[in-house]
Structure 1
Amino acid sequence: MSNTVSLPPLEQLSAAMADMVADAARSVVAVHTRRTRASGFVWRPGCIVSSEEALPEDEEVEITLPGGTTVAAKVAGRDPTTDIALLRFEGAEAPQLTLDNSTTRAGEFVLAVGSREGVPLCASGIVSLAGPGWRSLRGGEIDARVELDLRLRPSAEGGVVLNAKGGVIGMSVFGPRRRVLVIPAPTIERVAAQLAAHGRMPRGYLGLSLQPVKVSHASVGAMVMGVAEQGPGAAAGIHQGDIIVAVNGEPIRSVQLLLRALGPASVGSVLTLSLQRAGEPVEVQLTVGERPAD
């Protein structure tokens, strides 16, 4: 840290912020493909975490380390539901970051740090919203809802967010309507570990093709349009044409909500499905499987 004791208060604050950015930037990299520019950070030796949405499929990836060294990287896994991608690289080194799992509060001061061609990018702002865990539109479990009031450059997406102590509270990404969100540290640790081990996040699988259908004036159901051979639905004895009206006693509100509930924790769980079959009520037990790799 710089010697700031003799400086006026505003200069002390400015110098402290610059020191925080410089310290974090040692582990923040530029991530680029033929079409996109983003940022990432060293999560483990040889492993980079970045924004999944910022990385197109089937494109070669390079990273530029602090100081300008550029090396090839390979996408080792991606989870669109939490916007986390894991990259692996060799032939260069950079220090890994330690993530800060402390609770974030609305009104806290934050710094977002990215990289452009090995040079730090920075934006300052505050936490505009800090709420409980939530489920993304794609069904990913995010441990906390954190929105930032700051202007983030597209090439800084996938970089880190620092609190006033200099702790890395998560990764900056763009959400709906280009709001800047934080993928919090606990989510990154959980998802990145799965990507490192398996290359993807497990997702629940029913082995059923479903279509919404109105059951009555006030309720909806999920009609079974197809049953995968040897899938969980077939094992449970579900037939094409059955209508799922409730899961574990809870009425179906929409097919989308039903499928979004099939997160990693659902794999192996047993669901009680209430069906209508040819107008008659039927109840079956279905063990949720793991969705096969695409």
Structure 2
Amino acid sequence: MTAVRRRARLVLILTIVIAASGCSLPGWAGITRELLLEPPRATATPIPTPTPAPAVVSPTEAPSASVADPEEALLTALYERVRPAVVSVQVVRPIEGLLIPRGEGQEEGDGIFQRGQGSGMIIDPDGTVVTNIHVVEGAQRVEVTLWDGTILPAEVIGRDPDSDIAVLRIERGDIALQTVELGDSDALRVGQRALAIGNPFGWQGTLTVGIVSGLGRTLQLGHMSERVSGRFSIPEMIQTDAAINFGNSGGPLLDAQGRVIGVNTAMNSTSGVSGGVGFAVPINTVKRVLPDLIATGTYRYPWLGITGTDLRPVHREAMALDVPRGAIIDAVTPNGPADRAGLRGSTETVEQFGERIGIGGDVIVAIDDRPVRQFDDLLIHLVRTKRPGDTVQLIVVRDGAEQEVTVTLGERPSN
């Protein structure tokens, strides 16, 4: 006869909600935790049976605790080496134009303020810290918490909204600081190990592990410009499935050797938490803008003055083009560099499946003797190799014939 004990289950749910756009919003943070007590197993009263002769079994020794799994040993050693160079960035910024009652996370004073937080990394012993600009944008106070809990004041000394990179300087006094090692994002391949260290939802020093899921992603995360009627893009971003959440912004994305390959910046999520699609600004982009940000506080980007898209079959058919790939110009900014050089945008539109598509514009097929297969090729070439005032040689297809056009680049408009 079997006697079964009743299962007992205790569930404790603790909900806390946190965070904000790369930083936390006032007084809210989110985690749901469920604690389950293991239910007792069923027991039974055995029926007496003859006792067989005992089998002789040699005991198997448990693996020695001193023999660590190789990957585990790699991760723990990497974390212990890099963790002291990763910081938490706390900010206080004013809330303007909103009728919000004063509450948790708001500073006393004449105005209403909110606290936010993100991550950062120390790149030199003098206390230079790299983070995201959206972590510190609009902040009236910036503080940095070191790995050992020391809190130090910091100043924003450089901003580049078109790479979402900001540079801070810590008032370190006589404190010795550990620094990260910068890697080479151009050498990355999809499938390589990727690790993120940061402060998701305020949990300082969190390590998450994944792979490089994709390369060459372009995200419209730059500054908004009324002159071009849109937002500038950040090219060549790294995609990873290492968990990137609110508060990870500004922290390092690392390779398996612990070298920084990117600055964690964004996630693609419909739920507000990591869905396995995170993005980091490549470290080579950071290395390109960093000297100017430290020296002058800003970085000046070259500007062609066009908007466009990849050449598609609908363009080729409507324009009777014998061009397999290229970048077609949709619009030319009036009195911009391309306009002054005589480049032409779309002259009419066609409709396909309810979408109005511009046609008739110049199709760019080469820049400085480099083939242009898609619109991103233009952006990457300009950002990587050119500065305002430089010239570029374009090969364009207009009315079925190739033409060479020389354009003197301007500087991206600030508004």
Fold shared per TM-score above 0.5: yes
Structure 2: distance between partners of 1:168 and 1:135: 20
1:101 aligns with 184
Query: Aligned to 1:190, what secondary structure does the other structure show?
Result: helix
Equivalent residues of 2:264, 2:280 under 8 A apart: yes
Normalized against structure 2, the TM-score is what? 0.52
Count of aligned positions:
275
Query: Aligned to 1:23, what secondary structure does the other structure show?
Result: helix
Deviation at 1:41, TM superposition (A): 0.3
Letter in 2 for 1:25: R
The alignment status of 1:81 with 2:202, answered yes or no, reads: no
The alignment status of 1:69 with 2:167, answered yes or no, reads: no
Stretch moving more, 76-85 or 256-265:
256-265
1:41 corresponds, among 101, 121, 131, to 121
Q: After superposition, what is the alpha-carbon deviation per residue over 1:204-229, rounded to whole angstroms, capped at 9, x for unaligned?
A: 235x68799xx99825755556326x
Q: How does 1:1-294 map to 2 (within 5 A)?
A: 7-10=65-68, 14=72, 16-34=74-92, 35-44=115-124, 45-92=126-173, 93=175, 94-101=177-184, 103-115=187-199, 119-123=204-208, 125-131=209-215, 133-137=216-220, 138-142=232-236, 146-177=238-269, 179-206=277-304, 218=318, 222=330, 226-227=334-335, 232=337, 236=341, 245-247=362-364, 263=383, 265-267=385-387, 268-271=390-393, 285-291=406-412
Q: After superposition, what is the alpha-carbon deviation per residue over 1:10-59, rounded to whole angstroms, capped at 9, x for unaligned?
A: 46754553332122111111012124211000112321111233333354
Query: Aligned to 2:233, what secondary structure does the other structure show?
Result: coil
Normalized against structure 1, the TM-score is what? 0.70
Identity %: 26
Structure 1, unpaired ranges of 5+: 1-5, 277-281
Letter in 1 for 2:334: G
Equivalent residues of 1:47, 1:86 under 8 A apart: yes
Structure 2: distance between partners of 1:28 and 1:96: 8
Deviation at 1:113, TM superposition (A): 1.2
RMSD: 4.4
Letter in 1 for 2:206: L
Structure 2, unpaired ranges of 5+: 1-63, 93-114, 221-231, 310-314, 320-327, 348-359
Structure 2: distance between partners of 1:12 and 1:65: 29
Deviation at 1:174, TM superposition (A): 1.9
Equivalent residues of 1:30, 1:114 under 8 A apart: yes
Distance 1:27 1:245, change over 3 A: same
Distance 1:269 1:59, change over 3 A: farther
Letter in 2 for 1:23: R
Q: After superposition, what is the alpha-carbon deviation per residue over 1:147-200, rounded to whole angstroms, capped at 9, x for unaligned?
A: 322333422222223333333333323243352223333233223233223323
Letter in 2 for 1:269: T
Q: Which has the higher contact order (CA 8 A, sep 6+)?
A: 1
Distance 1:210 1:28, change over 3 A: closer
Equivalent residues of 1:139, 1:260 under 8 A apart: no
Query: Aligned to 2:299, what secondary structure does the other structure show?
Result: coil
Equivalent residues of 2:160, 2:299 under 8 A apart: yes
Distance 1:42 1:275, change over 3 A: same
Deviation at 1:254, TM superposition (A): 11
Letter in 2 for 1:286: V
Structure 2: distance between partners of 1:49 and 1:155: 14
Distance 1:257 1:98, change over 3 A: closer
Larger Rg: 2
